[in-house]
Amino acid sequence: MSTLVTYSPETALPVVSGCVAFGTTLCLSTLAQKIIGISTANKMVPSLFGMATVCLASMASQRAAICTYDWVNDKRPIQEFIMDPKTRNTLFSPSTASSADCIRIGDHIKIPKHDIRVCAVGLAAFKLLGGRFWAIAPSSFTNLGSFSRWSIPCGERYATTNQRTLIEKMGRRWGCHTCGSRMFFSRLGKNKFVGDHMPPKSVADQMNKSWLRRMNILPKVPFRFYPQCVKCSNTQGSILSKASNELSKKTLLPSWIKAANLEKAGGGRAAHFHGLRFRANHLTGGILAGATVVGATKSEVSKGNKKRFQGATNQAEDIVKSANVQVKELIKSATR
C-alpha cells in the first residue's frame, strides 16, 4: 500500500514537473549564453554561469514541485489554479524567512538558509549525475564541445582503421562531442562519426609557428581525436575555411593572434545550441522535487520541507568533518 501512495499522482506529477523545470532552466541558460556570445571556448565564464544556472534551476524545480503538488490536491481547473495569486507567489515571490534563518550580505541582502540548502543539494546531485557546469554553455565548433568525454591521442594525419573503430564506439556511447547526437536514426553506413582533431589542425599550425615552438623551446602542439558527427564536422570545416581566408589577408598579425582568432571562430553566436538535448543530469530536478514531496505532509510541502533539507545538509557536513579528521590522522601517522 505504501508503494501505491509513494507513486500516486500527488508525488509522481511534482517529480515530473521538477525535472521539466530543471531542464527548461538549463535550456534557457544555454540560449541566453548563445545570444550574449558565451560558449565552451571561453575560459572560466561558462563554469561560473553554469553554477549559477544550476542553483537557479534547483530553486525553480522545488517551486514547480510545490505548485504541482498543490494543484493535484486542490482539484481545481488548471487555468483557475494558475491565475490564483497564491500560485504566482509560490512560483515567483522571494522566499520568506526570519532573520535568524537567513544569511546576511551587507545591510540589505538576506538569503534564506533553506534556499542555500536547496542549491547545495542541487549542485551535489547535478555533479553526481555527471553534470559539468561549463557544459551548459553552447558548444564551440572550434574547441571542445559540451559533450566531450573520452578521446584518443593522435597525430596530424587522418584516423587509421583502428582509430576509426574506436571513434565509432565512443561516438555511439557518448555522442558527438559538439551536438551530443548518437546518430541512432542516421542513414549513414558504419562510419557515422569522424575523428575531430583537437585543437583543429589550422589552429595548431598557427600555434606551431610561434618562435618558441620553432626553436623547440616549447613542444609541438599535441592532438587528440574526439568523435564528431558528419554534420558538425562539415559546419566546423566551413567556419575554419572562412576564418582562415579572412586571416590570410592580415599578413602582419602574429601567429599567436591568428591561432586565437581561429580558435574563437566557432564559438560565440556561431556555437551550437544544444539546450533541447536531454541529459541524465536533468533528473536533478526530479531528485529535488522528490525530496520535497515524497512522504511529506501538505504542511511540510508548502514550506519546502525545510527539515528534510536541513537534515540532509547536516549529514553531509558530518561526513565531511569525519573524513577531514581521518585524513588528518593519516597525515599525522605518516609523518611520525
**One domain, residues 203 and 158:** yes
Let me know whether 79 and 113 are in one domain.
yes
Residue tagged 545538509 (cell numbers): 313
- Contact predicate 144/114, CB 8 Å: no
Whether residue 299 lies inside any domain: the answer is yes
Q: Does residue 220 share a domain with residue 259?
A: yes
Judge if 208 and 254 occupy the same domain: yes
CA angle 52/146/270 to nearest 5° reads: 95
Asked, for residue 236, whether it belongs to a domain, the answer is yes
Give the CA radius of gyration of the chain: 25
Is 232 domain-assigned? Answer: yes
Task: Note whether 25 and 96 are same-domain residues.
Answer: yes
Q: 109 and 18 in one domain?
A: yes
| Domain-ending residue, one of 224, 249, 270 | 270
Regarding whether 130 and 11 lie in a shared domain, the answer is yes
Beta pairing partners, 152: 225
Tell whether 187 and 288 lie within a shared domain.
no
Q: What is the pLDDT along the chain (336 residues), one digit of tens a residue?
A: 444 445 576 788 999 999 999 999 999 999 999 999 999 999 899 999 999 999 999 999 999 999 999 888 877 776 666 667 776 666 666 666 566 677 777 777 778 888 999 999 999 999 999 999 999 999 999 999 999 999 999 988 888 999 999 999 999 999 999 999 998 776 666 778 999 999 998 888 888 888 888 888 888 989 999 999 999 999 999 999 998 888 877 767 787 787 878 888 899 999 999 999 999 999 999 999 999 999 888 888 888 888 899 888 888 888 888 888 888 888 887 776
Q: State whether 266 and 283 are in the same domain.
A: no
Residue 241 lies in a domain: yes
> Is 335 within a domain?
no
Q: Let me know: does 147 contact 176? Beta carbons within 8 Å.
A: yes
Query: Domain range for residue 238?
Result: 152-270
Q: Which one-letter amino acid corresponds to residue 126?
A: F
23: nearest Cα among 48, 60, 63, 70: 60
Q: Is residue 146 part of a domain?
A: no
Q: CA–CA separation, 10 vs 72, rounded Å?
A: 6
Is residue 331 domain-resident?
no
Number of domains in the chain: 2
What pairs with residue 224 in β-bridges? Answer: 153, 198
Nearest to 267, CA basis, from 247, 240, 245, 246: 240
Q: Are residues 134 and 17 in the same domain?
A: yes
3-state secondary structure of 168: helix
> 3-state DSSP call for residue 139?
strand
Residues sharing a CB contact under 8 Å with residue 172, sequence separation 6 or more, in sequence order: 182, 183, 192, 193
Q: Do 236 and 307 fall within a single domain? A: no
Residues 6+ apart with CB under 8 A from 180: 145, 146, 147, 274, 277, 279
Same domain, 170 and 122: no
Structural contact between residues 62 and 289, judged by C-beta atoms closer than 8 angstroms:
yes
Asked whether residue 143 is assigned to any structural domain, the reply reads: no
What's the CA gap between 18 and 252, in Å, rounded? 55
